[in-house]
C-alpha cells in the first residue's frame, strides 16, 4: 500500500525529528540536514542532498513533496510596493504584499482565506471566514516572494502577519510557520523581525505568551472606549479593552522591545480630542509603542479619513506624553495593496480591486 505524501512545509523542526525517528529510523541530524537544504539553500530535490545517504534519500523522496508557490497575479506600485495574489489549495486566493520602505522592505502575509472577526472598517472582514491556511500555504507565500524578489534584486527584512485573516484564529498554522521562520536552521529570522498582529483574541495571546514561541506582537486597539471598540470590532464584546490590555501587559517582551499597539484613525469616530487623551491614559505603564494608521477614505465602508495635520497632532501629543508613536501612511495606493484591507474571492479571476489602500507594516520602530 502506498502512503500518502507529506507536505514538507507543514512540519516544524521538532515534528520532523519525530517523524524521521518513527518512520525512517533516522536521527535528528537528518532533520538538521533537511532543514538546511530546504530552508537555507532552497534545495528541494533529494538528488542534490548529497550528504544524506542514497537509500534514505530515495525513501524520503517517495514520501515528501514540496509544493511550489503559485503566483496568480502580481501588481507593482509606482512607489515600489508589490502585491501578490497567490493561489493556494482548492483554488482559494490570498494576497501578500512587499511593502517598500525607505531602507528596507517588509513582507505582509495572509493567515486565512477571509476573516471571521468582521471588523467594520476592514475589507477582509466583509468576506467572512472561508478557512485557515496551512503552515505550508503560509510559507509558500514567503517562498514565492523570495523567488520573485530575485527579479528585482531585493529582499525583505521583516515579515508581518497582517494580510488577510486573524493570525491567532489560526494559532497552530501560524505559530508553526513562525517557528520555521525563526529557526536558525530554518529561515533564520530574528523574532524581532517577525510580527503577529491580532485583533485581540485574549486567550490565544496568553497561550502564545506561555508557549515560548519568540515573536513580536502587534495588537489592533483602534478605540479608547468599549462602546466605540465594540461598534467597530465585534471581538471587543468578548474581550473588552481592559482584558486586552492586561494581556498586553503580561506579554513577554525582551529588553528594549515593545508590543505594537495599532490604532486605525477613523475620522470623527475614534480620533477625537478626548480619544487622544484617553489613549495616553490607557497606554501608561505598558511596554508599548503606537502605530497610527490613517483610515483610507475610499473603502466604501462608511468611515472617514482623518486630516493629515490631525494625524501629526496625535503623534506629537503621544510623543510629548512619553509614548512612542509612528504614523503608517499608505503604500501602494495605486494597486490597492493594503494589509488589512485585502479581499479576494475564490473564483479563478480576481475580483477587480477598488479598495483603498493603506498599509500597516508593523515593522520594528527605528531605534
- Mark residues 7-36: x for contact with ligand SAH by CB under 6 A, - for none: ------------------------------
The string over 332-347, giving b where at least 16 C-beta atoms fall within 10 Å of a residue's C-beta and e elsewhere, is: bbebbbbbbbbbbebe
Q: Which residue's CB is nearer to ligand SAH, number 92 or number 262?
A: 262
Number of residues lying near ligand SAH (CB under 6 A): 20
The x, y and z cell numbers of residue 276, run together, are 487622544
Output the CA–CA distances (angstroms, integers) from residue 92 to 109, 112, 280, in the order listed. Answer: 15, 10, 42
CA quadruple 314, 319, 321, 323: dihedral, nearest 10: 100
The x, y and z cell numbers of residue 107, run together, are 513582507
Does the annotation mark 95 as catalytic? yes
Give the footprint of ligand SF4 on this chain (CB under 6 A): 115, 117-119, 122, 124-125, 165-166, 199, 220, 340
One residue of 296, 344, 353, 364 binding ligand SAH per CB under 6 A = 296
| Phi, psi angle pair for 70, to nearest 5° | -115, 105
Q: Which residue's CB is nearer to ligand SF4, number 6 or number 118?
A: 118
**54-63 helix and 13-24 helix, angle to the nearest 10 degrees:** 110
340 touching ligand SAH, by CB under 6 A: yes
Active-site hit among 87, 95, 137, 360: 95
- Location of C-alpha cell 499608505: 330
Q: How many whole angstroms separate alpha carbon 321 and alpha carbon 229?
A: 23
The least distance separating ligand SF4 from the CB of residue 292, rounded to whole angstroms, comes to 15
- Which one of ligand SAH, ligand SF4, none interacts with residue 293, CB within 5 to 8 A by kind? ligand SAH
Q: How many whole angstroms separate alpha carbon 7 and alpha carbon 1?
A: 19
Q: Which of residues 210-249 bind ligand SAH (CB under 6 A)?
A: 220, 222
- Which one of ligand SF4, ligand SAH, none interacts with residue 262, CB within 5 to 8 A by kind? ligand SAH
C-alpha torsion sign, points 114, 116, 122, 123: positive
The least distance separating ligand SF4 from the CB of residue 176, rounded to whole angstroms, comes to 20
- Which one of ligand SF4, ligand SAH, none interacts with residue 295, CB within 5 to 8 A by kind? ligand SAH
Do residues 264 and 121 make contact, with C-beta atoms less than 8 angstroms apart?
yes
State the residues that interact with ligand SAH by CB under 6 A.
121-122, 162, 166, 197-199, 220, 222, 262, 264, 293, 295-296, 299, 339-341, 358, 360
Q: Which residues are catalytic?
A: 95, 339
Amino acid at each position: 500500500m502506498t502512503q500518502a505524501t507529506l507536505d514538507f512545509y507543514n512540519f516544524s523542526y521538532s515534528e520532523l525529528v519525530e517523524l524521521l525517528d518513527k518512520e525512517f529510523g533516522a536521527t535528528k541530524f537528518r532533520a538538521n540536514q533537511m532543514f538546511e537544504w530546504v530552508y537555507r539553500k532552497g534545495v528541494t530535490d533529494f538528488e542534490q542532498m548529497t550528504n544524506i545517504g542514497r537509500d534514505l534519500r530515495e525513501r524520503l523522496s517517495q514520501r515528501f513533496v514540496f509544493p511550489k508557490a503559485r503566483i496568480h497575479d502580481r501588481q507593482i506600485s509606482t512607489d515600489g510596493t508589490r502585491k501578490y495574489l497567490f493561489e493556494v489549495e482548492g483554488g482559494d486566493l490570498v494576497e501578500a504584499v512587499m511593502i517598500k520602505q525607505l531602507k528596507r522592505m517588509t513582507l505582509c502575509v495572509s493567515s486565512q482565506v477571509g476573516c471571521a472577526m468582521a471588523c467594520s472598517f476592514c475589507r477582509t472582514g466583509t468576506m467572512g471566514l472561508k478557512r485557515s491556511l496551512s503552515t505550508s500555504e503560509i510559507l509558500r507565500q514567503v517562498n514565492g516572494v523570495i523567488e520573485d524578489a530575485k527579479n528585482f534584486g531585493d529582499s525583505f527584512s521583516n515579515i508581518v502577519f497582517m494580510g488577510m485573516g486573524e493570525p491567532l484564529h489560526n494559532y497552530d498554522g501560524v505559530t508553526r510557520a513562525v517557528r520555521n521562520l525563526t529557526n536558525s536552521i530554518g529561515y533564520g529570522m530574528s523574532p524581532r523581525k517577525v510580527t503577529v498582529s491580532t485583533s485581540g483574541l485574549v486567550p490565544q495571546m496568553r497561550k502564545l505568551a506561555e508557549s515560548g514561541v519568540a515573536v513580536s506582537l502587534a495588537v489592533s486597539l483602534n478605540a479608547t472606549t468599549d462602546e466605540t471598540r465594540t461598534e467597530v470590532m465585534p471581538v471587543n464584546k468578548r474581550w473588552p479593552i481592559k482584558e486586552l490590555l492586561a494581556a498586553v501587559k503580561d506579554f513577554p517582551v525582551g529588553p528594549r522591545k515593545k508590543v505594537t499597539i495599532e490604532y486605525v484613525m477613523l475620522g470623527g469616530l475614534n480620533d477625537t480630542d478626548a480619544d487622544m487623551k484617553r489613549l495616553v491614559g490607557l497606554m501608561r505603564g505598558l511596554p508599548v509603542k503606537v502605530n497610527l494608521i490613517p483610515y483610507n477614505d475610499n473603502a466604501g465602508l462608511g468611515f472617514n479619513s482623518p486630516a493629515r495635520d490631525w494625524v501629526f497632532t496625535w503623534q506629537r501629543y503621544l510623543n510629548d506624553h512619553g509614548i512612542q508613536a509612528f504614523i503608517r501612511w499608505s503604500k501602494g495606493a495605486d494597486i490597492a495593496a493594503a494589509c488589512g484591507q485585502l479581499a479576494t474571492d475564490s473564483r479563478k479571476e480576481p475580483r477587480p480591486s477598488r479598495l483603498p489602500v493603506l498599509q500597516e507594516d508593523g515593522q520594528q520602530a527605528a531605534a
